[in-house]
Amino acid sequence: MFDRLPEYPWQQLKPFSAKAALHAGGAVDLSIGSPVDPTPEVIQQALDNASNAPGYPSTAGTPALRQAVVEWFARRRGVPGLNANQVMPTIGSKEFISWLPLMLGLGAGDVVVQPEAAYTAYAVGAALCGAEIYSQDDPALWPENAKLIWINSPGNPDGRVLDVDYLKAAVARAREIGALLASDECYAELGWSGKWATEVIPSILDPRVIGNDLSSVLAVYSLSKQSNLAGYRAAFAVGEESLVKAIVNLRMHAGMMSPWPVQQAMTVALVDDAHVEHQRELYRARRDVLLPAVQKFGFEVSHSEAGLYLWATLGEDCWVTVDRMAELGIVVVPGSFYGDPASKHVRFSITATDAAIAEGAARLLNAIG
């Protein structure tokens, strides 16, 4: 029963991390997208103020938290008209993504669709319940027997943004085949290039996509990236009221509840836009340092118009590139972690400190000769 999942992929990076550490200046780790900047003081204070929490928290979420999500969608995502009963908190987004197929009752013979370059948790969720995973970006090619379809915008690892026309086609196809379309949107506050530098990145819940019909769609969001709350496990999902009610019921039975102090901190985080803008500018500055160095080294950067990564290729097997970077003391992620179609790409993260980003960029530029 324990062989349904392979070894955690990052274990394969250990030899290359060790090689990078032999560099005279030590390793510059640009592999993991974990926030490094402080959790904003306003959120820390909210957590501290809520630390006296002797009772069990609400699985469905406090009314204040759910209303804060509703107002955040209207204010930041261009999605008005939601109500609090369409919202539920989750223990981070990865937990929810990994367990959703099982909570939906999927199993052997069912199909879960994921992007061609996909965050690993989608396949994990399918494996946990014994369903088949199918990788396909084109909605027209999604199989008739798919029960759950994951889209990811902005994407991890590739930073691709799905526009309104794509989302409309995705919703139409999901409804045609009777599948739930789940949209992982946790990088949506981090648009960098093209129109996404100024325009709101569309949600699957956008009225231009679904009107006011939430049937067969679910949006998943995390505060880990925009608010430096990865350690809090602070996320939420929004969908049609009956679907949310059913999933909350399952989560109550399983004891899957967000801690009450975290719910209080999330409520404060969602109403404070200033810290999000501040963090966005930190990431923008780091990207502006790393991106030109990556390109001058010879990488072709694909997509990467939003999110926390540069999705880049030298046109060679990704592991050759990983080793090439390790020689420079830089740790990057091989594209093969995200599916076979990505086997010639690597992922650079912009979540490292200013000093690490500057050092990584300098090493790339110095290597050009």
pLDDT at 5 over 70: no
For the chain, the distance separating the N- and C-terminal CA atoms, rounded to the nearest angstrom, is 52
pTM exceeds 0.75, yes or no: yes
And the tokens for 140? 């027209």
In CATH terms, the fold of domain 43-272 is: Aspartate Aminotransferase; domain 2 (3.40.640)
pLDDT tens per residue across span 226-242 = 999 999 999 999 999 99
Structure tokens at 243: 């679907």
Q: What is the pLDDT of residues 328-367, one digit of tens each?
A: 999 999 999 998 889 999 999 999 999 999 999 999 999 9
- Tell me the mean pLDDT in the region 298-322: 97
User: Per-residue pLDDT for 13 more than 70?
Assistant: yes
CB 340 within 8 Å of CB 319: no
Average pLDDT over residues 1-12: 69
Query: How is the chain split into domains, by residue range?
Result: 9-38+275-368, 43-272
Residue 4's pLDDT is what? 67
Task: For CA atoms 230, 266, 171, 5, give the dihedral sign.
Answer: positive
Alpha helices (H) in the chain, listed in sequence order: 14-21, 41-49, 63-76, 93-103, 121-129, 164-177, 207-210, 224-227, 241-254, 260-271, 274-297, 318-327, 354-368
- How do residues 157-178 score in pLDDT, each as one tens digit? 999 999 999 999 999 999 999 9
Query: What single letter denotes the amino acid at residue 275?
Result: H
- 170 in Cβ contact with 217 (< 8 Å): no
SS3 91: strand
Long-range CB contacts for residues 7-10, cutoff 8 Å, separation at least 24: 9/120, 9/337, 10/337
CA atoms within 13 A on the CB side of 345: 25
Give the pLDDT band (50/70/90) at residue 2.
Answer: low
pLDDT on residue 341: 86
At 8, the pLDDT band (50, 70, 90 cuts) reads confident
Rounded to an integer, what distance in angstroms lies between the CA atom of residue 87 and that of residue 84?
Answer: 5
Q: How confident is the model at residue 9 (pLDDT cuts 50, 70, 90)?
A: confident
pLDDT at 104: 96
Mean of per-residue pLDDT scores for the chain? 95
Q: What is the distance, to the nearest Å, from the Cα of residue 272 to the centroid of all Cα atoms in its chain?
A: 21
Q: Which CATH code for domain 9-38+275-368?
A: 3.90.1150.10
Tens of pLDDT, residues 88-113: 999 999 999 999 999 999 999 999 99
